[in-house]
Structure 1
Amino acid sequence: MSETFRAAFVIARRDFIAIVYSKAFIFFLLGPLLPVLVGFAAGNLGEQMARDVSRPSVAVALTTADSDKLLAARAALSKTFGDGYFADMKIVGDGAAEQIRPQDYLRKKADNFSVVVTGTLANPIITGTASSIERHRADIELLAGYASSGGSVRLPTATPDVVAESANNDKQLRTITAQIGQALIFFLTLLLAGMVLSNLVEEKSNKIIEILAASIPMESVFLGKLVAMLAMALVGITMWSIIGLIGFVAIDPNVPSIPTPAVGWPTFAALCFTYFIMAYMMFGALFLGIGAMASTVREVQTISTPVTMAQMVNFFFAAYALTKTGEPIEIFAAVFPFSSPFAMIGRAALEPTLWHHGVAIIGQLLFAVLLLRLGVYLFKKNVMKSGNAGRVEDGGKRKLWGLMKISR
């Protein structure tokens, strides 16, 4: 057993150094950042354009005196409700002196009017679509009533008494934290686990895997490659976290408020890290098994696509089970190995109990070992054509010295 782990360490060190010190690793680190930056810029630009283009405004066509009172009421109440609470209002004419046709103002695309207010303050008439009237009616009635009273009506000011949490919305708030943890683990696993597959297929095409198989057990080769890819993934996550933290501080120093998970932030962060490793080990071992069956890149894409889709189904299943805590469907999601990391991180956000996380982690680790052994079996059967491939005895010892020289 010690010799197997020693050989796996040699393979892991060899692969890790070869990947991290390559030029392609720089592009690997920059790869996920570019779409994030482009998406952030496009999102801000699109939000600004949508706000400028689709911001509704109200056309006011009361008498001159009533229109002035309505706009004065809007200015006065905006100090209480906030500047952006009421829609923009514009006086378009005198309803008493002109023949006002509200439909004519609504047809003008340049003005972007949502509704037109005619009539009087005592009996305002709102012209527009049903949804627009429903959106503006309460505000216009409030402003008209305030303007009719001459501002003598004083709205009471409520004194805020803020509490951190309440029993009514505690689970709902923590569900947000659970969803964030699930999505983070899923996307990192989806992004990084496939690299194990490409690495194995590349070495199969270069015949390097045959040299390794002639020197040490295939169990050590597969375990070493999985550990090396995991270490490389952790390096990438560390770099992305540092860059992301610097970006958040530069853009907005205020840290966004996220509901505190039931187990507390330190334990939740440790469980997120652990469940990511478990998910990576399971899906990485599964991809190694796929690589054992595939001999070309086309076969890799054909076989791995259904697995990736199944991985998404597991994530959505765990996200759905998040709202069914304690029910059979949620228990099944926590027990089923491929959805267990996502379901259990949801439990960590909602439930303070810790012992079931230990049971789940042990089960996921054993399942990852089972998948790894299955991948080794498939490799021996499909590639080496022998159940004992990968073993060359030399006085009862493995030939590790040649492999160590290769890794150096």
Structure 2
Amino acid sequence: MSTSPPGNLRRLVRQTLTIARRDFVATVFTPMFLVFLFTPVLMLSFGLIGGMGASSVTSASVEKASIVAIVDPAQQEAMRAADTRLRQLYARDDRPPALVMQVPTDNPAGQAHVAFSDRGSDASAAMFGELTRPTILYGGFGRRDANFLAQLAEETLRMKKSGTTALSTPTLTSIARAAPTPTGNKRSAFFAVFGIFFLTLFLAGQAVGTMAEERSNKVVEILAAAVPLEAVFFGKLIGMFGSALLFIGFWGTLASQIDVLVPNALGAAFRDIGPAVGMPVFSLLFVAYFAMAYMLLGAVFMGVGAQASTPRELQLLSLPITILQIIIFGLSVQAVSRPDSWMAIAVEIFPFSSPYAMAGRAANLPDLWPHLAALAWQLLWVAIVIAIAARAFRRGVLQSGSGKINWKGLIGR
């Protein structure tokens, strides 16, 4: 008595979900998953510690640095006021060094040179002479500070000529845009491409170790004897993708509150960034494209992990895939910066870069119908890659049959 195709398909789905549940439970319900879940915290902590060390060194250098202005006492008050006004045009971390004013001696040129030769001084630029034709010395990377001194001399003369320290008193008011700008769309497109690239490379890599470990323990051979090998591969992908969704859900919830956690000015800047299709639709498309990118890369990694018999072989086989992913990331970033170019179309069609480029397209352009076609195209390639990986495993490891892809066996006999 033969099994009907619908019954065979239901059995295949049941077997796939059984393996998916097995891998999901084995991955999530372990203490190591908590360590994996908080890995970004450890990475940020190490980066923060290093950044604090570099910042302390930089701050110490900035505190000692100075720019010197050798001017008459009658001009110093106006120059201090001009210095205060000009510094308001710079961000806090981008402002020139502190201004040090000196009274000129009989040799102002020699006095300016002493600012660079004195061991206790850390001057980057020094100005002397009449403000209408000042001479400014600078050393090393001090050209920017020398330009500031030149503008400071100009502003001082203007303020002395006007007879007042300020001709206008502005009122600055911050407002939020009603809709993201095209620049905000492009920024969200970059964040989408980078997010999928980082999450896929970070999360899909675990498929390599899992497959290699279960191959060395003969677990895959035991599973392949009970169910079709394609179901084993696809079930493992679904199980590991479930753990990846938990990871994304946890950190995505925290990221959604970023405008509340950060200062108001920075939160307003984040609110100016947004996708063209709207945030609810974009969130669904982001998850869908991440799923496709994860499945594609995970299937490739699983096929590699199934072929590797030693950790050294695993590293050698995984390195080209990682390099290819970095190249795809670079091409996708270029594509989303020019969404109407031929390069963008090519990157959107190529199956392994399509999830990245289409996520960027969702941020840049409001059309929705291309995403339905893209998801169907990517899902087809997920099936193809899984079938190829299973065939390679069947031929190279199990050494059973011809290694042909058993398409008919998946839907009925």
Give the TM-score of the pair, scaled to structure 2: 0.83
**1:23 and 2:37 equivalent?**
no
**1:255 and 2:267 equivalent?**
yes
- Over the aligned positions, Cα root-mean-square deviation in angstroms equals 3.1
**1:53 and 2:61 equivalent?**
yes
Q: 1:228 to 1:82 in 2, by over 3 A?
A: closer
Give the letter for the 1:353 counterpart: D
Q: 1:79 to 1:385 in 2, by over 3 A?
A: closer
Deviation of 1:221 after TM superposition, in Å, equals 0.8
Q: 1:333 to 1:79 in 2, by over 3 A?
A: closer
Counterpart pick for 1:179 among 164, 168, 190: 190
Q: 1:225 to 1:262 in 2, by over 3 A?
A: same
The aligned residue for residue 409 of structure 2 is: none
Q: 1:360 to 1:154 in 2, by over 3 A?
A: same
Q: 1:350 to 1:98 in 2, by over 3 A?
A: closer
Q: Which structure 1 residue ranges, 5 or more long, are not aligned?
A: 390-408
**1:144 and 2:161 equivalent?**
no
Cα deviation, 1:188-239, whole Å, max 9, x if unaligned, reads 0000111112111111111111221121111111111000000011112223
Q: Which moved more, 1:285-294 or 1:355-364?
A: 285-294
Cα deviation, 1:54-93, whole Å, max 9, x if unaligned, reads 4652212112222344224434x36975895665211234
Task: Provide the rounded CA distance (Å) in 1 between the counterparts of 2:254 and 2:364.
Answer: 30
Q: 1:288 to 1:98 in 2, by over 3 A?
A: closer
Deviation of 1:180 after TM superposition, in Å, equals 1.0
Task: Provide the rounded CA distance (Å) in 2 between the counterparts of 1:97 and 1:324.
Answer: 59
Deviation of 1:27 after TM superposition, in Å, equals 2.2
Deviation of 1:373 after TM superposition, in Å, equals 0.7
The aligned residue for residue 286 of structure 1 is: 300
Contact 1:126/1:133 (CA < 8 Å) preserved in 2?
A: no
Deviation of 1:152 after TM superposition, in Å, equals 2.6
The aligned residue for residue 5 of structure 1 is: 13
Contact 1:63/1:120 (CA < 8 Å) preserved in 2?
A: no
The aligned residue for residue 74 of structure 1 is: 83
Deviation of 1:299 after TM superposition, in Å, equals 1.4
Q: 1:250 to 1:157 in 2, by over 3 A?
A: closer
Q: Secondary structure at the match of 1:115?
A: strand
Counterpart pick for 2:314 among 300, 303, 320: 300
Q: Which moved more, 1:240-249 or 1:333-342?
A: 240-249
* Greater share of helix: 2
Give the TM-score of the pair, scaled to structure 1: 0.84
The aligned residue for residue 6 of structure 2 is: none
Q: Which moved more, 1:272-281 or 1:153-162?
A: 153-162
Q: 1:170 to 1:138 in 2, by over 3 A?
A: farther
Give the letter for the 2:286 counterpart: C
Q: Which moved more, 1:331-340 or 1:205-214?
A: 205-214
Q: Secondary structure at the match of 2:267?
A: coil
Identity of aligned residues (%): 31
Contact 1:344/1:357 (CA < 8 Å) preserved in 2?
A: yes
Deviation of 1:376 after TM superposition, in Å, equals 1.0
Deviation of 1:133 after TM superposition, in Å, equals 5.5
Q: 1:82 to 1:278 in 2, by over 3 A?
A: closer
The aligned residue for residue 389 of structure 2 is: 375
Q: Secondary structure at the match of 2:337?
A: coil
Q: 1:230 to 1:311 in 2, by over 3 A?
A: same
The aligned residue for residue 411 of structure 2 is: none
Give the letter for the 2:247 counterpart: G
Give the letter for the 1:140 counterpart: L
Counterpart pick for 2:224 among 213, 216, 226: 213
**1:313 and 2:327 equivalent?**
yes
Give the letter for the 2:98 counterpart: D
The aligned residue for residue 64 of structure 1 is: 73
